[in-house]
Chains A and B, each alone.
Chain A
C-alpha cells in the first residue's frame, strides 16, 4: 500500500526541487539578461537584475560582425551527422554485446570507454597531420568523422544498457519466425528501443553541439560551427560581456529549444529500465 506523504513534506520537497532547478538554470538566465544590457550595465555593481534599460544593440552588433547562419548550419550538419553516423555503427555493436555476449564483452566495453579517458589534446597533432594529409582540415566531413569517433563509446554504452532491458526471447521468437539478422534489428529491436535510441540521439546531438576542442582546432573559415562563433567574442583584454552573452544566447538557443520540446522523451529514455 502506498504511503501517504504529509502535505507539508510534499510542499517542502517541491520547494527544494524548484530551488535546485532555479539554481541550475540561473547561469543561463543571467547570460540571457546580460545580453540585453549595455556594456556599462553588464559590469555594474551591485548587479542589476531586471530593472535596467533593455537594449537589443548587442544582437545587432553580433549579427553585423559575424555570419551567424553559416556557423549555425555548420553546427547542425556536424552534430546531427555525427550522431546519425554514430548510431548506424553503434546499434549493431550494442546488439552484439547485449544479445550475443562473449566472455570478453565486458572488457571490450571498458576498453571502449577507456578511449575517453585520454585528454583530447594528447592526440591533437597526429589527428591534425592525418587531416592535413587527407585534405579534411576545415571540412564538415572531417569534423563529422572526428565527433562520431569521440562520441561512439558513449553511444554504444547507452544503447547497450537499453538493449539489455529488452528480453532476448522476443528476438528469438522473431528469429524462429524466420527473420534475418538485419530484419530482427530493424523491425523488432529498434522499435522496442525507441525511447532509448531517442534519448541517445538527443544527448549526443547536445554533446556534439557543445564540443569545443576539435571544432575549434580543426576548422578555419569554412566549417567553423557556433563554438568558433562564441570564441570570437570572448576577450582577455576588454570587457565585452554583453556582446559575448548575446553570442552565447544565439548559440545555445537552438539546442535549448530542442531540449525543451524533447524533454519528455529525454527523461523517459534516461530512466528507461530504472523501475521494473
Chain B
C-alpha cells in the first residue's frame, strides 16, 4: 500500500513539474475584446503574430460591449488580474489612467506613434503619455437617401447646417407611405440617446458643466438644442422613436423607411452592403450638421487596446498591442481581406493611401468627421472635462442614463422640454454634489 502511495506521489510530482516547465516556456495572454467585425477579424489573423512569437499563446474572451464593460471594470477595479489586454473605449481610458490602473505604452520608432490621428491620440493620453493604443476609431455623420433627395429637389451639401437638415427632413417625410425624414436615437442611455444629444448640443454651444462643475441644463443653449430635436422628431421622425437605438434605426434605414440617419460612421458599411440593405445603392454621406458656431454635432470614439496594471505579462502584452495597432497589421488585413476591411480611424497614413481611398468611398468623410472632433475642447465654451459625447468621470454612466431617461420621456410626450431640462438639472446637481465636484 505504502509503495503504491509513493509511486502515485512521485508520478504526480513529475506531472506537476512537467506541467510547470511547459507553463514557464509559453506565455499565455488573455485578451478581452468587443465582438465587432474588426475585432473578430483580428482574432482570425492573430496567427501571423503567434507564428512570429512562438513563445506567446493567445486566449480570447469576446463579448458584447455592455457585458465587456461590466466585466473588465470589475476586474480592473479589484485588480483581479484575469486579463492581460483589455479592449476599452475613449470613455474609460482617461478615468482608468488617472487611477493608475493602466500601464503607459511606449513603442519604438518603427511603430510611428506620430502617425496616430491627433484627435484620437489626445483622447487616449494623459499628460502626453499614451495609455491605450487605438485599434479602430469612429465618428458620426449623416447618411441620407439620394433618391428621396432628388425626388424632393434637394441637394445635400457636404457640410450641412441643422436648419437645412430640419427643412429637408420635413420635406421628405411621407408618413402615409412610411417614409420618415429623419431617424435619430431616442432610447434612454448614456451611450444611446445621450451620445447623440450631447454631441448635437455641442454644436448648439451647450455644455454639461461650466468650469466649476455646475450643471448647465438651465442654460438657453440646451433648451434650443432639445426643443429642435423634439420638434424635428415629432414632425419627421418614425413612430415610437423614444425606444429606438442604433440597431432599431439601422433596421428602419435598411428597409427604406428613413430619409436621413445621423449615427456612427461604422453604419456606413452596413447600409451600403447590398446583402443586408434594400437601399445600398442609394445612400449618400455628409458631415454631421453644425449651427454656425464652429462645432459640428459629431462624436468621437475609439476602441483601443490597453494593459491593466494587474497583468504579470506586461512585455508580451505590449508586444501584441504594438503588432495589432501597427501599419504592418493594416497591410496584413489589406492583403488577406482587402483595403475596405482595414480598421478605420486610427492612422493618418491610411487616409493618404490611394488604395484605401478607392476601396472605402466614405473614408474622406470619416477622416474629416474625426478631425472635426476635439475631446479636450468639445464645445464652444471651455469645459473642465474630456470627452465629446460623454464626460469622462466615473459618475457619468449613472448621470448620463438618468438624464437620457428625462429626454426620452420628453420625446415620448410624457413631459415637456422644460420639465425634462429641469429634471436633468436637479438630478445632475444632486449627484455631482454628492460626489463632491462643484467648487
- In chain B, positions 28-49 with a C-beta closer than 8 Å to chain A are 30, 32, 35-37, 40
Contacts of B245 in A (CB 8 A): 236
Verify B74–A128 contact, CB threshold 8 A: yes
Question: Chain B nearest CB: distance from A115 CB in Å?
Answer: 21
Determine how close the nearest CB of chain B comes to the CB of A91; give it in whole angstroms: 33
Q: Which residue of B lies closest to A45 (CB)?
A: B255
Within 8 A of B (CB), among A98-149: 124-125, 128-129, 132, 137-138
* CB atoms of A238 and B78 under 8 A apart: no
Contact of B251 with A138 in the complex, beta carbons under 8 Å: no
Contact (Cβ within 8 A) A125 B64:
no
Known: A43-B255, A236-B245. A220 touches B64 (CB 8 A): no
Q: How far does the alpha carbon of A224 sit from the alpha carbon of B250 in the complex, in Å?
A: 31
- CB-CB under 8 A from B270, the residues of chain A are 238-239
Q: For the complex, is B80 an interface residue (Cβ under 8 Å from A)?
A: yes
The reply on B25 being an interface residue by CB < 8 A is: no
Contact present for B247 and A236 (CB under 8 Å): yes
Known interface pairs A65-B40, A220-B83, A239-B270; A228-B63 also in contact (CB < 8 Å): yes
Given contacts A220-B82, A232-B62, A236-B66, contact A125 B36 (CB under 8 A): no
Please state if B64 and A231 are interface contacts (CB–CB under 8 Å).
yes
Contact partners of A232 in chain B: CB under 8 A: 35, 62-64
A238 to chain B, nearest CB (A): 7
Interface of B is mostly: mixed
Q: Kindly report which residue of chain A lies nearest to residue B255, judged by CB atoms.
A: A45
Q: How many A-B residue pairs have CB under 8 A?
A: 91
The listed residue with most B CB atoms (<10 A of its CB), out of A129, A137, A216, A221, is: A221
A132–B276 contact, CB under 8 A?
no
Q: Is the CB of A231 within 8 A of B67?
A: yes
Number of residues of chain A lying within 8 A (CB) of chain B: 31
- Give residues 122-178 of A contacting B (CB, 8 Å): 124-125, 128-129, 132, 137-138
Q: At the interface, yes or no: B59 with Cβ under 8 Å from chain A? A: yes
> Are B276 and A39 in contact, with the CB atoms below 8 A?
yes
- Assuming the A-B contacts A237-B36, A237-B246, A237-B266, are A43 and B251 also in contact, with contact meaning beta carbons closer than 8 angstroms in the complex? yes
Please tell me if B65 contacts chain A, counting CB pairs below 8 Å: yes
A44 within 8 A of B: yes
B78 with A128: CB separation less than 8 A: yes
- A132's partner among B36, B59, B81 (CB-CB below 8 A) is B81
CA distance A260 to B259 in the complex (A): 48
State the main secondary structure of chain A at its contact with B. loop
Q: Is the CB of A221 within 8 A of B266?
A: no
Q: Which of B67, B245, B254 has the most CB of A within 10 A?
A: B67
B247 touches A239 (CB 8 A): yes
Docked Cα-Cα span, A220 to B245, in Å, equals: 29
Question: Is B275 in contact with chain A by the CB < 8 A criterion?
Answer: yes
Question: Does B71 reach chain A (CB closer than 8 Å)?
Answer: yes
Q: What separation, in Å, do the CA atoms of A208 and B204 have in the docked complex? A: 51
CB <8 Å contact, A221 and B74: no
Contact check, A125 vs B78: say whether CB atoms are below 8 A apart: yes
Q: A220: which of B32, B66, B246, B275 is its contact (CB, 8 Å)?
A: B32
Residue B61 lies at the interface, judged by CB distance under 8 Å to chain A: yes
CB distance from B201 to the nearest CB of A (A): 22
Give the distance to chain B from A105, nearest Cβ to Cβ, in Å.
Answer: 38
Decide yes or no whether A48 CB sits under 8 A from chain B: no
Among B61, B246, B270, max chain A CB count under 10 A is at B61
Beta-carbon contacts under 8 Å, B248-282 to A: 250-251, 254-255, 264, 266-267, 270, 275-277
State A45–B278 Cα separation when bound (angstroms): 11
Interface pair B80/A125, CB less than 8 Å apart: no
Mask of A210-239 contacts with B, CB within 8 angstroms, 1/0: 000000110011101000100111111111
CB distance from B75 to the nearest CB of A (A): 8
Question: Among the interface residues B37, B270, B276, which one has the most CB atoms of the partner chain A within 10 A?
Answer: B276
B21 at the interface (CB under 8 A from A): no
Which residues of A182-231 have CB atoms within 8 Å of chain B's CB atoms? Answer: 216-217, 220-222, 224, 228, 231
User: B residues within 8 A CB of A216?
Assistant: 67, 70-71
* CB-defined contacts of B276 to chain A, threshold 8 Å: 39-40, 239
Q: CA A100 – CA B204 in complex, angstroms?
A: 73
Q: Which of A40, A44, A221, A239 contacts B250 (CB 8 A)?
A: A239
Encode B124-162 as 1/0 by CB contact (under 8 A) with A.
000000000000000000000000000000000000000
20 of the cross-chain contacts (CB-CB < 8 Å) are A39-B275, A65-B40, A66-B62, A125-B74, A125-B78, A129-B78, A132-B78, A220-B61, A221-B60, A231-B64, A233-B35, A234-B64, A235-B247, A236-B66, A236-B247, A237-B65, A237-B266, A237-B267, A238-B250, A239-B254
Contacts A132-B78, A132-B79, A238-B37 known; 12 new A-B pairs at CB < 8 A: A40-B254, A40-B277, A44-B255, A66-B62, A129-B78, A224-B61, A228-B61, A236-B246, A237-B266, A237-B267, A238-B247, A238-B266
Closest CB pairs A-B (n = 7): A221-B59, A232-B62, A220-B82, A234-B64, A43-B251, A231-B67, A132-B80
